[in-house]
Structure 1
Amino acid sequence: MDGVAWILTTERLSEEMTTETPAAGRYALETHPMVNPEQGNQTSITELILLGFGTLLELQILLFLLFLVIYIATRAGNILIMALVVTDQHLHTPMYFFLGNLSCLETCYTSTILPRLLASLLTGDGTILVSGCITQYYFFSSLAATECLLLSVMSYDRYLAIVKPLHYAAHMSDRSCLQLAAGSWVDGFLVSSITAVLTSQLNFCGPNSIDHFFCDFIPLIKLSCNDPKLMEMLSLTLSFPFLLVPFLLTVMSYISIITTILRFPSTTGRQKDFSIYSSHLIV
């Protein structure tokens, strides 16, 4: 009897292992990378979860309406500015040309982040493909770098107009304005393509949740199996010429502008110049 019981027990365990092992194997494939001697590490993660405002479940609809109003107002305002700059002949000047570029950039900027956020707030689904997450990061970082460069160009334009007005026409011709604006856009997208391409080569082995409402660089690379220090150092190195240097140039330009305006003997002239360039100072 003991021998028969042992045989029956062995057969039952064999059947359970046969039925349960495939499921366990699938789970392992979904949560852990495979190691292949010929191909190296392969990630099993194809989707990420943006947690966003997941802890505020009772406020999801209210947040959706709030961000929807902000998105519509932002797009409407910037599109109106672009339309005015294009149609009004009196606004065909370097200052308004750059403001039109800034409005176009802000329209693209908000469209990179807010539609995906609105969809997750409305449906409660924060999943996004890894490739989609990297794509969102690429456009977000490209537009951020472009904005820093464009704001620096705008400050340079005002610097020439106030501090060196005699050189303004020579330095801010139509061709120069196009070159400066195009250079800001091209350089911003080129520098971000470096980090985006390198990020796409990383292996992601979990966890697959990002405690953010969009795909930012640091939260994304922390999910990879690779050491993030090299990518963080590369990002910091690229940020210096495209973020810190434009910021310092912008600050120095406006300090020179304010100092020059304060030296004007006429109070009326000072007030007029401050009112004209207040939009730039606010930005």
Structure 2
Amino acid sequence: MSTPDPQPTAPLPVPVPDPWRLLDTAATVLAVHAHPDDESLSSGALLASLAAAGTRVVLVSATRGEEGEIVPGSLDAAESRPLEEVREAEIAAAASALGIAERHWLGTAPALSPGAAPRRYRDSGMQWVREGLAGPSDSAGADSFSLRPLEEAVDDLVALLRTVQPDAVIGYDDEGTYGHPDHVRAHHVAVAASARAQVPLIQIASALPDGDPDPRIIERAHPGTADPVLRAIDSYRTQLTVIGETPGGIAIRHVGGQDDMVRLRTGLHVRD
């Protein structure tokens, strides 16, 4: 009686015991984000700091933010472009302000699995399923980033990793900043793709400790990044309003009216 072949096991992630040292020595990094503006809001100071130090910073965005609301009055009355085209222009301006060297869309070559037809991952939108748990909006279709097969996006990101050959991938932690389903999906895609390609994954902490330091998170400030970050986030006038610089960072108001702070410091998870 023959025994069945063992099932293949998923590759293990590359340990990252000192993420800041890895970034300090990296020649190229690839940042993985879900929508236009995420790169500026959650990692703008980090990316600007890396670019200013001479690191080649490459950005891949999963969606074009098609489901975003629009700040009233931010678009000219004669504007006829669909929102995704407006947001494409916004991210181009923001990336330039941050010093990002290259920018790609997941599902478009070179961020496309070899032999696959180009695919477009749509913004899933968001609604709160219950307190603390977010899900896609009711209008999210099968082509939405969080609802398409995970393996498609993983294959596409692996293809980009093999083209760019970064020393490190920068992505969200498992909370996905504030739990948006596309952010959480981007985390899972980055984890699987970086493990398969054997590239270290550096995860940005969604929240920094308020009291005693957390030994699992190492923080660093990014002096001198206020100007590029402010210019980057000000590019997203359909999505937010810049209020101004404060001692803690840059104060903004989101399209829904929520006040927030874009920090000029970053916490990174230590992963043994």
Q: TM-score range by the shorter chain?
A: under 0.3
Larger % of strand: which?
2
Write 1 or 2 for the structure with the bigger share of helix: 1
Rg larger in structure: 1
